[in-house]
Amino acid sequence: MSITNLLNNWSFYRKKRPYQGQYDLNRQYSEYKWAMALDLDICTGCNACTTACYAENNLPVVGKERFKHGHVMHWIRIERYWDEKMGEFPEQGASFLPMMCQQCEEAPCETVCPVGATSHTNDGLNSQNYHRCVGSRYCSVNCPYKVRYFNFWNYPSTAWPAPLPDQLNPDVTVRTKGIMEKCTFCVQRLNEAKSRARTEYRLVRDGEVVPACVQACPTSAITFGNIVDPKSKVAMMWKNQQVDLYKDMQEKDNSVRGYRILEDLRPFPSVMYLERVRDMEA
Partner 1 sequence: MIHRLLAALCFAFLFGAAAGAEPFVQGGPIGSQTPDGYNALGPVVKQPIEFPHYRHARDMGINCMYCHTGARRGYVSVIPRIDKCIGCHQNIESVRNKPRIKKLFEYWDKKEPIPWKKVNDLPDYVRFNHERHIQRFYFRQNRPVREVCGYCHGDVANMTVDRRVKALSMGWCISCHQKDHKESDTNLKTSHGPGECWQCHK
Residue numbers of the site for partner 1 (CB under 8 A)? 119, 121-122, 125, 127, 129-132, 171-173, 184, 187-188, 191-192, 195, 198-199
Closest to partner 1 by CB, 125 or 213: 125
Kindly state the smallest distance separating residue 27's Cβ from partner 1, in Å.
Answer: 13
Give the Cβ contact number of residue 110 at 10 Å: 21
Closest to partner 1 by CB, 95 or 129: 129
- Looking from the CA of 265 toward its CB, the CA atoms found within 13 Å total 15
Closest to partner 1 by CB, 90 or 170: 170
Contact 100, 126 (CB under 8 A): no
Kindly state the smallest distance separating residue 60's Cβ from partner 1, in Å.
Answer: 17
Closest to partner 1 by CB, 140 or 169: 169
Kindly state the smallest distance separating residue 129's Cβ from partner 1, in Å.
Answer: 4
Listed in sequence order, the residues at least 6 apart from 81 whose beta carbon sits closer than 8 Å to its beta carbon are: 94, 95, 96, 97
Kindly state the smallest distance separating residue 196's Cβ from partner 1, in Å.
Answer: 8
Rg (CA), the chain: 20
CA dist., res. 13 & res. 19, Å (int): 12
Residues 145, 24, 17, 228: what is their CA dihedral angle, to the nearest 10 degrees? -60
3-state helix, strand, coil in the chain (%, to 5): 25, 15, 60
Kindly state the smallest distance separating residue 77's Cβ from partner 1, in Å.
Answer: 23
